[in-house]
Amino acid sequence: MRKLLAGGVAMLIAGGAWAASVQEVGERYMKLVLAVGRHDASYVDAYYGPAQLQEQVAKEKLSLAAIRAEAEAALHSLPALPAPAGAGIDADEQLRITFLGKQLQSMLMRIDMLGGKKFSFDEETATMYNAVAPRHERGYYLELQDRIGKLLGGEGPLAERVKAFRARVEIPKDKLRPVMEAAIGACRERTEKYIPLPAKESFVLEFVQNQPWSGYNWYKGNAHSLIQINTEFPIYIDRAVDLGCHEGYPGHHVYNALLEQTLVKGKNWQEFSVYPLYSPMSLVAEGSANYGILMAFTPAERLAFERDVLYPLAGLDPSLAEKYAGLTQLFGKLAYADNDAARSYLDGKATRAQTVEWLVNVLLYPPEKAEQRIRFYDANRGYVINYTVGADMVGDYVKRHATASDPEAARVQRWAAFRQLLSSPRLADSLRQ
């Protein structure tokens, strides 16, 4: 009996030391993310941890070489997986180890890139986001374009016909706020039905211009976000639900709020109070935000909401809703053309002019919007795969957990899996399992 007791105590001590080691690496990781942010203004997407840590980082002024050395040391300090048998380490704690390891590996690559080292598109995404996008040639998208052309009807270049139809569903500038607020409100109502939101969660909605993105969520901590919508280019009626779900509910706002509630406050895992944009975390963040649109609305529910609520609110013709919904679903299937354009452009296999042509004639972007997209490639490089590969991986993960034959029961199971994902340290590898 004494031997068993002694062995149990020893195991508890080992488990406690193991957990303390992880906590220490998490604290070092926080500081290093902020330190990289001093060299890369876009790197720190959100931080709501202690202000004194920011002050310490500003005072230390670590060089990239010093940050790299500390990041390597932190990576090597992580306890090996799997955890010791019987150590009392739960599955989330082991996911935490994997999370910190992948995040630190991506940090090392980002530091190398800031120092001038070059990587191919696929090399970058494999380490930075823990995933590689599939490749498609132009011919892959022709069948989708034929279907879009048949649905649209008419004559002339397909891109021009798409542009002309979209002009009929553009939200007037003076209607943007009420339409966006109605869309975000519906996204929130549908999310709250399945995910209890933190008390006093909130957001502020702003309209901006001259950005390389169409919408952005700036998470501020304490379940509060600033959501910005770029009005530089026309905003079409489908973007109201897209942006409302993606930036708000159950997208970025909910993801960050649940991480804060569950991990930062619930488990004291302070490393989740900092979010490095160029890291594997973004594949889950963008993937869940994009797939969250399908979580909130089935295609039929979305069509009814847009036709009966948003079209009248925007002063648009509701009779266009069904046709445009069909078009947007086909446009969604073209999404991987964005990855193919970015890869060719960033790997130097396509010029800027050739990339604009691809975006206009394959992805069916307006020419001026294509130029904005290239600015996004220049600024964010391989980040683009997170919207497509990320959404598919999140969708596959959620669907695997929906085993009920009853549709509503399966929906409840999907939401439960989605909520668990948003509240845990899961990255791409754990989504594949």
Q: What span, in angstroms and rounded, lies between the C-alpha atoms of 60 and 112?
A: 20
Q: Which residue pairs, CB below 8 angstroms and at least 24 apart, start in 325-333?
A: 325/238, 325/299, 326/151, 327/148, 327/151, 327/152, 327/162, 327/165, 328/238, 329/299, 330/144, 330/147, 330/148, 330/151, 331/148, 331/364, 333/144
Cβ distance 324 to 299 under 8 Å?
no
Among residues 410, 385, 389, 390, the alpha carbon closest in space to that of 400 is found at 410
Q: What is the tens place of the pLDDT at every residue in 357-411?
A: 999 999 998 888 899 999 999 999 999 999 999 999 999 999 999 999 999 999 9
Among residues 311, 290, 267, the alpha carbon closest in space to that of 425 is found at 267
Q: Tell me, what's the pLDDT at 17?
A: 58
pLDDT higher than 90, residue 92: no
User: What string of H, E and C letters represents the secondary structure of 254-271?
Assistant: HHHHHHHHHHHHHHCCHH
How buried is residue 407: exposed, middle or buried, by Cβ count under 10 Å (0-12/13-18/19+)?
A: exposed
Q: pTM of this prediction? A: 0.93
Band (18; pLDDT cuts 50, 70, 90): low
Among residues 347, 340, 385, 373, the alpha carbon closest in space to that of 129 is found at 385
Residue 132's SS3 state is coil
Q: What is the tens place of the pLDDT at every residue in 116-171?
A: 999 999 999 999 999 999 999 999 999 999 999 999 999 999 999 999 999 999 99
Among residues 310, 299, 312, the alpha carbon closest in space to that of 182 is found at 310
Average pLDDT over residues 90-107: 93
Q: Tell me, what's the pLDDT at 9?
A: 35
pLDDT higher than 80, residue 225: yes
State the sign of the Cα–Cα–Cα–Cα dihedral 51, 203, 216, 283.
Answer: positive
* Chain centroid offset of residue 241 CA: 16
Band (19; pLDDT cuts 50, 70, 90): low
Domain boundaries along the sequence of the chain: 2-118, 138-432
Dihedral of the alpha carbons of 121, 271, 294, 308, in degrees to the nearest 10? -120
> 293: which residues sit within 8 A by CB, 6+ positions away?
241, 242, 245, 246, 251
In the DSSP assignment, the letter for residue 133 is P
Cβ distance 21 to 44 under 8 Å?
no
